[in-house]
Chain A
Amino acid sequence: MSAPLVPIAVGVTGILWDTLALVVLFAALSTVVLSLVWLERKVLGRLQRRLGPTRTGPMGLLQPLADSLKLIIKEDILPASAEKSMFWLAPVIVVVPAFMIWVTIPAAQNAVVKNLDLGLLYITAFSVVGILGLVMAGWGSANKYAALGGLRAAAQLISYEIPVIMVVIGVAMLAQSLDLREIVGRQQPVPFVVLQPLGLVIFFIAGLAEVGRTPFDIYFAESEIVGGPFVEYSGAHWSVFFLAEYINTFAIAALTVLLFLGGWSGPLLSGAWAIVWFLLKVYAVILVIFWIRGTFPRLRVDQLMAFAWKVMAPMSFFVVVITAVYQFYNWPAWSLTLMSCAGLLVVAFLIYRRLSGPAKRVAQVKARQMALNQRRRAAAALAASGDQAAANVE
């Protein structure tokens, strides 16, 4: 009699456990976002010789809490001409995939809500859904800046999805698996960054573009389109976009660590404690992202697209090809490193060529200036001697 009840009971406890895990995940991610906000403001402050937040709590630690509280009690405004359903639905569509990705990202061998055999496929699939929300926000706001931002977001994110996916394929070929735990396991002696440095560079740059961090913050470029899709949002709904942005940033950093930097593996710590290594590595990557934000201006939209299709996409195909060749002929591991470094050199050469063009112009400007100054001094000397001559005559 109890036989049919057992699976149901198992199912119920399973659901309960899953729910609990999701709640824990939500809480953990919210804490992470708060920490990121604080860290970003502090790091940017120090980069700019400011202090960053200092007043709320020790070292301004409570600043993000105060910020979120302020955002929640702010008035939520619906523009009169906005498409109501789209306008309210857009933040949800942006934030839900951001959380969904994290369901299958492991922070340590067993610290994962639901490990999937096709984890990488699931992640790449879900990361595209957020674009829809941005386009909806752009369209639903009935604002021209928002519309421009939405269009920019669609173009940018879809373009940069290609290099990301190609590099992910390269990694999957190396690990012979789409399971993230398996991928980390395969990096036990040497992380994939040694084998595939080009892959790391492409993934990181394209990842920055995917989450719209500087220098790719084009779809909400504040000095041009004043916030893009978010321009009409305020209060809690705006903070939802904000939340999604930071969760995505953290996800890109985490994926960089999992795919290339050996995940949670590191000396001394093992088991559940390995999560410390994971967090250390992820926060290190995050710091690099903030550092870039403090250094670079923003690209223009055509330059961004040109970069995606002329540099990133071909190089990412190159990554797949060299990985395939390496695996097919069973070459030694250093050959892949060599080929990858050759690819990096090509990128470096391209950048050097672009840099040396303006440098030549600068040299021209300087030469011209020197010539001008010399001419002026000669004229002044001539005038002075002329005066002298005139005085002598008199």
Chain B
Amino acid sequence: MEMLLNMGPQHPSTHGVFRMVLWVDGEKIVDMEPHIGYLHRGSEKLCEGEQYHQVITLFDRMDYIANFNNELVYCMAVEKLMGLQVPERAEYVRVILCELNRIASHLLFVATMGLDAGAMTPSMFCFRGRERVQGLFEAVSGARMMHNYLRVGGLKEDLPDNFSEMVTDLIPLLREDIEESDKLLTFNEIFLARLKDVGAISVEDALDYGLTGPCLRACGLDYDLRKQEPYSVYDRFEFDVPVGLDGDSWDRHYVRVQEMYESLRIVEQAVAQMPGGSVTSSLGRRLIRPPAGEIYVRAENPRGEIGVYLVSDGTDRPYRVKVRPPSFCNLSAIRTMVQGAWVADAVVILGSLDIVLGEVDR
């Protein structure tokens, strides 16, 4: 029974408004065609009409699961263009918030991975952990998502007084949440059967498709920008980069789970080492006009390597902002992964790539 099966954009497991047109033979997938663009808002073009500080809000809305990481990479780009020195305290706060955001993002991944495979309890445990992180973010920035907290040259304002205690209180709770969902899901017999050897991709193919982040590390390549090309103050912390072996869906899941533990280690060290002082640069809150020129900055987001190409013409608005979104590049490999798989696998493979449509479509 060969037929075209249209999956999405309104389907519970397409993680937003992604659309797959599957050519299926019974339950087997012969071919698939991905369709994107249902969430296209023209973010890159919009950036050109905003002042440099206003662009931060637009970056919040690209990868809306990892807001701080997105804000950070944009701010780094502008700072590098201006040759601006960021106060040390601000760097530490950025790292703490980014790593917590990475944990929140990966928790959401584990939750949806479980749901895609049909297990609903881990999602509840994960969401509880994510809720705790968001509570902290709200205390810091006033918003649970779309924080708009980072600024070019530092932060919007200093942290709440009891921030260190809040974070140190949060870490054991968060570790408990991660362990709980991890124990319930990762080595579950059925979960292993569903994910192992599903959607496997070789290192060579992964590099050809431009996969980055956990999807690439799952193939066994030890490539993490925080280690390879340390930005911010990442070179001061001790952490390991988890890698997989086979590059299949289960390895992608496992790498992310392990990354959460590593992120916790980074947060612990960062809180212990956090210096005092100002969190804003010498620039203060003045309107910024970077010198004319162009810059490309990249950073390790929860989903992979995000790159920002920024062109300035010396005015108060960027001339051009181009983003290399990790989700978009990771998604490009889905066609080869899905061919020959089962219909149920398509859902799992898409889930294991962990895309955010806000970033794919921009």
Contact = CB atoms under 8 A, between A and B. Distances in A.
A365 B243 contact: yes
A63 B204 CA distance: 55
B222 interface: yes
Contact of B220 (A214, A297, A361, A368): A368
A215 interface: yes
A151 B119 CA distance: 23
Contacts of B128: 49
Given A294-B120, A295-B119, A226 B193 contact: no
Nearest to A215: B190
Interface string A365-385: 100110011001000000000
Given A297-B114, A355-B189, 12 more contacts: A144-B6, A223-B12, A223-B118, A297-B190, A299-B194, A358-B187, A358-B192, A358-B196, A364-B245, A365-B254, A369-B243, A372-B243
Interface string B1-26: 10101100001110000000000001
Interface stretch (A85-93, A111-119, A300-308): A300-308
Interface in B174-223: 184-185, 187-194, 196, 220, 222
Given A215-B118, A297-B190, A373 B240 contact: yes
A49 B177 CA distance: 12
B242 A49 contact: no
Contacts of B240: 369, 372-373
Contacts of A299: 190, 193-194
Interface stretch (B80-88, B291-299, B337-345): B337-345
Contacts of B119: 295-298
B320 interface: no
Listed residue (B26, B117, B128, B188) with the most chain A CB atoms within 10 angstroms of its CB:
B117
B121 interface: yes
Shortest 6 CB-CB distances between A and B: which pairs? A298-B118, A48-B124, A297-B119, A297-B117, A223-B13, A297-B118
B27 interface: yes
A40 interface: no
A123 to B, nearest CB: 29
A296 to B, nearest CB: 5
A223 B346 CA distance: 11
B354 interface: no
B304 interface: no
A310 interface: no
A372 B26 CA distance: 43
27 contacts: A47-B121, A48-B121, A48-B124, A217-B118, A222-B12, A223-B115, A223-B118, A225-B343, A295-B121, A297-B117, A297-B185, A297-B188, A299-B193, A299-B194, A300-B342, A351-B189, A355-B189, A358-B192, A359-B187, A362-B254, A364-B245, A365-B243, A365-B244, A365-B245, A368-B220, A369-B242, A372-B241
A269 to B, nearest CB: 35
A302 B27 CA distance: 9
A177 B128 CA distance: 53
Contact of A361 (B1, B246, B345): B246
A217 B26 CA distance: 19
B116 interface: yes
Interface of A: 44, 47-50, 144-145, 147-148, 151-152, 214-215, 217-218, 221-226, 294-303, 351, 354-355, 358-359, 361-362, 364-365, 368-369, 372-373, 376
A297 B227 CA distance: 35
Nearest to A302: B342
Contacts of B227: 376
A359 B345 CA distance: 22
A373 to B, nearest CB: 5
Contacts of A294: 120-121
A298 B245 contact: no
B8 to A, nearest CB: 11
Interface in B86-143: 114-121, 124-125, 128
Contacts of B124: 48-50
B347 interface: yes
Given A223-B12, A226-B11, A298 B117 contact: yes
B71 interface: no
Contacts of A295: 119, 121, 184, 188
Interface in B230-264: 240-246, 250-251, 254
Contacts of A364: 245
Nearest to A367: B245
A201 to B, nearest CB: 15
B337 to A, nearest CB: 16
A297 B245 contact: no
Nearest to B193: A303
A47 B114 CA distance: 15
B189 A221 contact: no
Nearest to A300: B344
A221 B118 contact: yes
